[in-house]
Structure 1
């Protein structure tokens, strides 16, 4: 069976939580649940680093505004991780199919990251913090569920990931005006505070 569905799903999930993807794939490969996981993801140092970074992200991703800063920082990290994981899944030979896999994984990771970051900006327009915790927890469980499904049923997992990506993109478009108004109000408040500080 083609590895493309697995590669696409890995990229989509990497755009949401790259560390969870590396950790889960590594554990599934290490325990023998999947033969498609490259040895590089099963190394102890890789798994430990992924676990530590996953725990840090699990906290940072649930705090309003810190989550958006974290997303900004990971605009490069998540697509790069998606590309690397995809290339490793495709094989170690440096061939054209491997480069194409890296492009698919990196692109799907970038798009899903932008959708995630946009939705988080929309959520941060709400004054209460509970929505951040709920959405972040849902993302964590969603990534775990989709990656687990991809190990056993990659085509179904890719179909679900593609559907979620499309829905997320539509939600970001619908929330775009709300995000713009919120950011404009924040800039205006910041400008007023700076003017007050200068006047004082």
Structure 2
């Protein structure tokens, strides 16, 4: 059986929560639910690290502005994780070359990461924190459900992931005006802080407490 649908789905999910993907796949492989998962993802130390980082993301991802900082840090981590997981899955099955699987997993993860990060920027233009919590919870549940579904029906899961990715990209284009406003507001705050610091330095005033 071709591993391509699972590679695509894991890549999409990695762009949203890479640690959840590694944790879920490792658990599925360790419990014998599937033989598609390589042993390197089933190691106890890998599962522990993935679990701890997943908990860290679960908290950071629900705090306004902290979630955008977290996303910025993971602009490289998520695509690399998607590529690595894809290559490992391909190496386990032998039905797809490691390079091709890495490219598919990494590029899909990068696309879904941009959707997640861009959507969060738009959400952060709103002053209330509840939308962040709702969005983060929905993302975590979505990743868990679709990755689990991919274990039993990888083709259908890949189709769902592709539809969600396309819908997310369309939404990102629609929300671009809010994202630009968020970036402009953040740049203005940074500039105001810089000017205030220069003014204090020029007058010899002490910094604010």
The C-alpha deviation readout for 1:10-55, integer Å capped at 9, x for no partner, is 1000000000000000000111111111111100000001000000
Distance 2:91 2:183 in 1: 44
Partner of 1:4: 4
Q: Does residue 19 of the first structure (1) align with residue 34 of the second (2)?
A: no
Q: TM-score, normalised by structure 1?
A: 0.94
Partner of 2:99: 99
The C-alpha deviation readout for 1:89-146, integer Å capped at 9, x for no partner, is 1116999711101110111011111111111111111100000011001100100000
Partner of 2:206: none
Over the residues paired in the alignment, what is the CA RMSD in angstroms? Answer: 1.7
Q: After TM superposition, list the pairs within 5 Å mapping 1:51-200 onto structure 2.
A: 51-91=51-91, 97-200=97-200
Distance 1:44 1:182 in 2: 41
The C-alpha deviation readout for 1:48-91, integer Å capped at 9, x for no partner, is 01000000010011111111111111111111111111111111
Of residues 187-196 and 92-101 in structure 1, the stretch that sits farther from structure 2 once superposed is 92-101
Of residues 186-195 and 9-18 in structure 1, the stretch that sits farther from structure 2 once superposed is 186-195
Q: Does residue 35 of the first structure (1) align with residue 48 of the second (2)?
A: no
Distance 1:37 1:118 in 2: 31
Please state how far the C-alpha of 1:192 moved relative to its aligned partner. Answer: 3.4
Summarize the Cα distance change of 1:190–1:75 in structure 2 as closer, same or farther, 3 Å threshold: closer
Please state how far the C-alpha of 1:161 moved relative to its aligned partner. Answer: 0.4
Any unmatched runs of 5+ in structure 2? Answer: 201-209
Please state how far the C-alpha of 1:189 moved relative to its aligned partner. Answer: 3.7
* Corresponding residue SS for 1:91: helix
Q: Does residue 44 of the first structure (1) align with residue 58 of the second (2)?
A: no
